[in-house]
Structure 1
Amino acid sequence: MPSTPPRQSTCSITLVTPPLSATSAPAFGKVFAEVLAAAPIASARVRFAPGAEGVAKAIIAPLLKASAAADCALILDGDPRRAARLGADGAHVDGAGEALDEALDSLKPERIVGVGGLKMRDDAMTAGEKGADYVMFGEPRGAAPPMALELLLERVGWWADIFETPCVAYAESIEAARRLARAGADFVAVDDAVWGAPSPAEAARALHAAVARAAAEAP
């Protein structure tokens, strides 16, 4: 994945991991590899459980191997220096302030810098103007108060009509992902809709089919 992804005519998939710890990561790594083998996944955002930062290298080692084999960019939450040190493809930070400035200074142009936690339209515009590689609307459950789907659809449509910086939209379900892709999202970000399914690999295939169908439905 290039350090500055081009705007694309179809929507791609990014997966958001559950918060991982040293104990949960080995089993998750196996499921992660199965999902990446089941459907095209453009990128994956890795979240860490509280207190797990010190074992980040062990947590992401199997994920790096699987993502490299599947041509999937691996993006780490939080400290951008950790992303560079561990060989990840980039970092995801919250807000358009100092954290974003630090990430841009330390990672660009070699690595991806994405930003979420953008509550206001002005925040997203500022992030885009500063040079973020993508802006994310909506957040995984527990990370922030959820954004209603109708508001999220409106925000994605507004961004897609005006701005060139790619946008990622968080989807709580496969149907929400289809609607967000149809609204103009460059990427849909999914977590529990895949990881919480009886078969995450089957869910990933269904997600890919739904997003591909949205391209045909787009006005």
Structure 2
Amino acid sequence: MTQPEDRCRLVLIVPDSDDAAGQAHQLEDALAGGDVASVIIPQYGLDDQAFQKRAELMVPIVQAAGAAALIAGDSRVAGRVKADGLHMNGPLAELDEAIEKFVPKMIVGTGGAADRHLALEIGERRPDYIFFGKLDGDIKPEAHPKNLALAEWWASMVEIPCIVMGGSDSSSALAVAETGAEFVALRLAVFSSEKTAKAVVAEVNAILDEKAPRFEA
């Protein structure tokens, strides 16, 4: 499996679903489509026990494909299922606690950066990445212009990698890459497409291989 570190890479966000087995199969299919850096597994409306069970199903699939499995929000579940990392989205105090407790054993990244001031406050904590947008923010075909603008500003001046939420259309990945962001997150574009998840991941990687700007070594 290739690891194209010199250009924007794909992050998958597992969608909400009542069908755990179907979701696992679709995730496996997506990961077979080509390079995926990591997969974020949100809790959605599941209680802790149900979420842990779902994560126990998903995490080995992600890790077997060579991607990092990130649990959104629940550090206890992340530890129990031996995930690679934790995606935070709460107050800065919770981020501080997670970084102190889990880094460097686990990846700790965070969302919640709605503006430049907050992004810089987050940056002072040195998380492993910052996420611009919401995990379920792909409500339009294109990425949100505000998130693209934040990513372009951030990528030009801060070394901490950023992930930007793409839109519900896979073509939004290129617009994210053009900001200089290290990662583009896709959810509905991959898992609710008329095409197979595998085909979409392959297509996005082909576009990024061909057209995404290269990072300087």
Superposition TM-score, scaled by structure 1 size: 0.86
Tell me if structure 1 keeps the 8 A contact 2:152–2:180.
yes
- Cα-to-partner distance string for 1:41-80 (whole Å, 9 max, x where unaligned): 1100001231332122321223222112111100011122
Residue 201 in structure 1 maps to residue 211 in structure 2:
no
SS in structure 2 of the partner of residue 135 of structure 1: strand
| RMSD (CA atoms) | 2.4
Report deviation, 1:142: 5.8
2:19 aligned residue:
24
Q: Sort the Cα spacing of 1:177 and 1:96 in 2 relative to 1 into closer, same or farther, 3 A.
A: farther
Residue 141 in structure 1 maps to residue 136 in structure 2:
yes
Aligned counterparts, 1:32-181, within 5 A: 32-95=27-90, 97-141=92-136, 149-172=144-167, 173-181=169-177
- What code does the residue aligned with 1:68 have? Q
Determine what percentage of the aligned residue pairs are the same residue: 29
Report deviation, 1:38: 1.4
SS in structure 2 of the partner of residue 14 of structure 1: strand
Q: Sort the Cα spacing of 1:143 and 1:211 in 2 relative to 1 into closer, same or farther, 3 A.
A: closer
Superposition TM-score, scaled by structure 2 size: 0.87
2:179 aligned residue:
183
SS in structure 1 of the partner of residue 28 of structure 2: helix
Aligned partners of 2:137, 2:158: CA distance in 1, in Å? 29
Report deviation, 1:95: 4.3
Q: Sort the Cα spacing of 1:51 and 1:96 in 2 relative to 1 into closer, same or farther, 3 A.
A: closer
In structure 1, list runs of 5 or more residues that go unmatched.
Answer: 1-7
2:212 aligned residue:
215
The number of equivalent residue pairs is 209
Aligned partners of 1:187, 1:209: CA distance in 2, in Å? 15
Tell me if structure 2 keeps the 8 A contact 1:133–1:165.
yes
Tell me if structure 1 keeps the 8 A contact 2:138–2:165.
no
Q: Sort the Cα spacing of 1:142 and 1:190 in 2 relative to 1 into closer, same or farther, 3 A.
A: closer
Kindly report structure 1 stretches of 4+ aligned residues shifted beyond 6 Å.
none
Aligned partners of 1:143, 1:129: CA distance in 2, in Å? 28
Aligned partners of 2:12, 2:39: CA distance in 1, in Å? 5
